[in-house]
Amino acid sequence: MRLILWLSDFLIPLTVLYIVGFGVLMRRPVYDDFVEGAKEGAGTVFSVFPTLVGLMTGVGALRSSGVLDALTDTLGQWMSAAGLPSPLLPVAVVKLFSSGAATGLALDIFKTYGPDSQLGLAASLMLSSTETVFYTMSIYFLSVNVKKTRYTLPGALLATAAGIAASIFLAGRL
Protein backbone atom coordinates (compact mmCIF):
# COMPACT_ATOMS: atom_id res chain seq x y z
CA MET A 1 0.00 0.00 0.00
CA ARG A 2 2.85 2.39 0.78
CA LEU A 3 4.27 1.76 -2.69
CA ILE A 4 1.00 2.83 -4.31
CA LEU A 5 0.84 5.97 -2.16
CA TRP A 6 4.45 6.77 -2.97
CA LEU A 7 3.83 6.29 -6.70
CA SER A 8 0.68 8.42 -6.58
CA ASP A 9 2.72 11.34 -5.23
CA PHE A 10 4.89 11.23 -8.35
CA LEU A 11 2.25 10.41 -10.96
CA ILE A 12 1.26 13.97 -11.93
CA PRO A 13 4.82 15.37 -12.02
CA LEU A 14 5.93 12.37 -14.10
CA THR A 15 3.04 12.88 -16.49
CA VAL A 16 3.92 16.56 -16.93
CA LEU A 17 7.58 15.69 -17.48
CA TYR A 18 6.59 13.04 -20.03
CA ILE A 19 4.43 15.48 -21.99
CA VAL A 20 7.06 18.24 -21.95
CA GLY A 21 9.84 15.79 -22.81
CA PHE A 22 7.84 14.34 -25.70
CA GLY A 23 7.14 17.85 -27.00
CA VAL A 24 10.83 18.75 -26.83
CA LEU A 25 11.82 15.52 -28.61
CA MET A 26 9.29 16.28 -31.35
CA ARG A 27 10.75 19.80 -31.59
CA ARG A 28 7.43 21.45 -30.74
CA PRO A 29 7.16 24.88 -29.10
CA VAL A 30 5.84 23.37 -25.86
CA TYR A 31 5.05 26.62 -24.07
CA ASP A 32 3.31 28.11 -27.12
CA ASP A 33 1.24 24.95 -27.51
CA PHE A 34 0.32 25.15 -23.82
CA VAL A 35 -0.78 28.77 -24.11
CA GLU A 36 -2.83 28.01 -27.23
CA GLY A 37 -4.55 25.11 -25.47
CA ALA A 38 -5.29 27.27 -22.44
CA LYS A 39 -6.89 29.88 -24.72
CA GLU A 40 -9.09 27.22 -26.33
CA GLY A 41 -10.04 25.86 -22.91
CA ALA A 42 -11.00 29.31 -21.66
CA GLY A 43 -13.13 29.81 -24.76
CA THR A 44 -14.91 26.53 -24.08
CA VAL A 45 -15.57 27.54 -20.47
CA PHE A 46 -17.07 30.86 -21.56
CA SER A 47 -19.27 29.19 -24.18
CA VAL A 48 -20.75 26.61 -21.76
CA PHE A 49 -21.03 28.90 -18.72
CA PRO A 50 -24.62 30.07 -19.45
CA THR A 51 -25.73 26.45 -19.70
CA LEU A 52 -24.13 25.65 -16.35
CA VAL A 53 -25.80 28.62 -14.69
CA GLY A 54 -29.16 27.60 -16.14
CA LEU A 55 -28.85 24.01 -14.95
CA MET A 56 -27.78 25.00 -11.46
CA THR A 57 -30.55 27.60 -11.19
CA GLY A 58 -33.15 25.09 -12.35
CA VAL A 59 -32.06 22.47 -9.84
CA GLY A 60 -32.03 25.04 -7.05
CA ALA A 61 -35.53 26.19 -7.99
CA LEU A 62 -36.83 22.60 -8.06
CA ARG A 63 -35.36 21.88 -4.70
CA SER A 64 -36.40 25.06 -2.89
CA SER A 65 -39.89 25.33 -4.41
CA GLY A 66 -41.08 22.00 -3.07
CA VAL A 67 -41.58 20.46 -6.51
CA LEU A 68 -39.32 17.55 -5.58
CA ASP A 69 -41.34 16.90 -2.44
CA ALA A 70 -44.58 16.99 -4.44
CA LEU A 71 -43.07 14.64 -7.01
CA THR A 72 -42.00 12.28 -4.27
CA ASP A 73 -45.46 12.33 -2.71
CA THR A 74 -47.21 11.82 -6.06
CA LEU A 75 -44.98 9.20 -7.63
CA GLY A 76 -43.71 7.66 -4.39
CA GLN A 77 -46.45 5.04 -4.11
CA TRP A 78 -46.03 3.87 -7.69
CA MET A 79 -42.27 3.85 -7.49
CA SER A 80 -42.32 1.95 -4.20
CA ALA A 81 -44.46 -0.70 -5.86
CA ALA A 82 -41.86 -0.87 -8.65
CA GLY A 83 -39.06 -1.31 -6.11
CA LEU A 84 -37.70 2.24 -5.86
CA PRO A 85 -38.08 3.50 -2.28
CA SER A 86 -39.70 6.96 -2.31
CA PRO A 87 -36.84 8.74 -0.44
CA LEU A 88 -34.51 7.78 -3.32
CA LEU A 89 -36.75 9.27 -6.01
CA PRO A 90 -35.51 12.88 -5.58
CA VAL A 91 -31.91 11.67 -5.64
CA ALA A 92 -32.54 9.79 -8.89
CA VAL A 93 -34.26 12.77 -10.54
CA VAL A 94 -31.80 15.44 -9.41
CA LYS A 95 -28.78 13.29 -10.29
CA LEU A 96 -29.80 13.64 -13.95
CA PHE A 97 -29.02 17.37 -13.68
CA SER A 98 -26.57 17.95 -10.84
CA SER A 99 -24.27 15.66 -8.92
CA GLY A 100 -23.72 18.22 -6.17
CA ALA A 101 -27.43 18.69 -5.50
CA ALA A 102 -27.95 14.91 -5.55
CA THR A 103 -25.16 14.55 -3.01
CA GLY A 104 -26.96 17.07 -0.80
CA LEU A 105 -30.13 14.98 -1.02
CA ALA A 106 -28.14 11.85 -0.21
CA LEU A 107 -26.75 13.59 2.87
CA ASP A 108 -30.33 14.26 3.95
CA ILE A 109 -31.01 10.52 3.60
CA PHE A 110 -27.90 9.78 5.67
CA LYS A 111 -29.10 12.12 8.43
CA THR A 112 -32.60 10.63 8.48
CA TYR A 113 -31.94 6.91 7.95
CA GLY A 114 -28.18 6.58 8.53
CA PRO A 115 -25.39 5.96 6.03
CA ASP A 116 -25.31 2.22 6.74
CA SER A 117 -29.05 1.74 6.28
CA GLN A 118 -30.38 0.12 3.13
CA LEU A 119 -31.52 3.53 1.87
CA GLY A 120 -28.14 5.08 2.68
CA LEU A 121 -26.28 2.32 0.86
CA ALA A 122 -28.64 2.55 -2.11
CA ALA A 123 -28.18 6.33 -2.29
CA SER A 124 -24.38 5.94 -2.18
CA LEU A 125 -24.42 3.29 -4.88
CA MET A 126 -26.84 5.34 -6.97
CA LEU A 127 -24.59 8.39 -6.87
CA SER A 128 -21.63 6.37 -8.04
CA SER A 129 -23.37 4.29 -10.70
CA THR A 130 -25.37 6.97 -12.51
CA GLU A 131 -24.40 10.01 -14.54
CA THR A 132 -25.53 13.62 -14.67
CA VAL A 133 -27.07 13.00 -18.09
CA PHE A 134 -28.38 16.44 -18.98
CA TYR A 135 -25.37 18.26 -17.56
CA THR A 136 -22.93 16.01 -19.41
CA MET A 137 -24.84 16.15 -22.68
CA SER A 138 -25.14 19.93 -22.58
CA ILE A 139 -21.47 20.45 -21.79
CA TYR A 140 -20.01 17.92 -24.22
CA PHE A 141 -22.33 18.55 -27.13
CA LEU A 142 -22.25 22.32 -26.73
CA SER A 143 -18.47 22.40 -26.56
CA VAL A 144 -18.12 20.60 -29.92
CA ASN A 145 -21.26 22.10 -31.53
CA VAL A 146 -23.19 18.84 -31.92
CA LYS A 147 -26.79 19.60 -32.90
CA LYS A 148 -28.22 16.10 -33.43
CA THR A 149 -27.78 13.91 -30.38
CA ARG A 150 -29.53 10.91 -31.99
CA TYR A 151 -29.78 8.07 -29.47
CA THR A 152 -27.61 9.59 -26.76
CA LEU A 153 -30.44 10.65 -24.45
CA PRO A 154 -32.44 7.38 -24.62
CA GLY A 155 -29.23 5.38 -24.16
CA ALA A 156 -28.09 7.51 -21.25
CA LEU A 157 -31.50 7.29 -19.56
CA LEU A 158 -31.52 3.51 -20.02
CA ALA A 159 -28.04 3.27 -18.51
CA THR A 160 -29.18 5.48 -15.61
CA ALA A 161 -32.21 3.27 -15.02
CA ALA A 162 -29.93 0.22 -15.01
CA GLY A 163 -27.62 1.96 -12.51
CA ILE A 164 -30.56 2.80 -10.24
CA ALA A 165 -31.90 -0.76 -10.41
CA ALA A 166 -28.44 -2.21 -9.70
CA SER A 167 -27.98 0.19 -6.78
CA ILE A 168 -31.22 -0.88 -5.13
CA PHE A 169 -30.53 -4.55 -5.79
CA LEU A 170 -27.00 -4.39 -4.40
CA ALA A 171 -28.03 -2.38 -1.35
CA GLY A 172 -30.56 -5.07 -0.54
CA ARG A 173 -27.89 -7.77 -0.89
CA LEU A 174 -25.28 -6.13 1.36
The rounded distance, in Å, linking the Cα atoms of 31 and 36 is 9
Contact assessment for residue 51 and residue 45, using Cβ atoms and an 8 Å cutoff:
no
Between these two residues, 170 and 3, which has the higher pLDDT value? 170
Q: What pLDDT does 107 receive?
A: 93
pLDDT over threshold 80, residue 21: yes
Q: Residue 174 pLDDT > 70, yes or no?
A: no
Is the pLDDT confidence value at 51 over 80?
no
Task: Quickly state the pLDDT bin for 5 (edges 50, 70, 90).
Answer: confident
pLDDT at residue 67, rounded to an integer: 85
150 backbone dihedrals φ, ψ, rounded to 5°: 50, -115
The pLDDT value given to residue 2: 84
Q: Residues 66-122: pLDDT tens digits?
A: 887 887 888 877 887 778 888 898 899 889 988 888 898 899 999 999 999 999 999
Q: How much is the pLDDT for 74?
A: 84
d(CA 84, CA 171): 12
pLDDT above 90 as % of the chain: 46
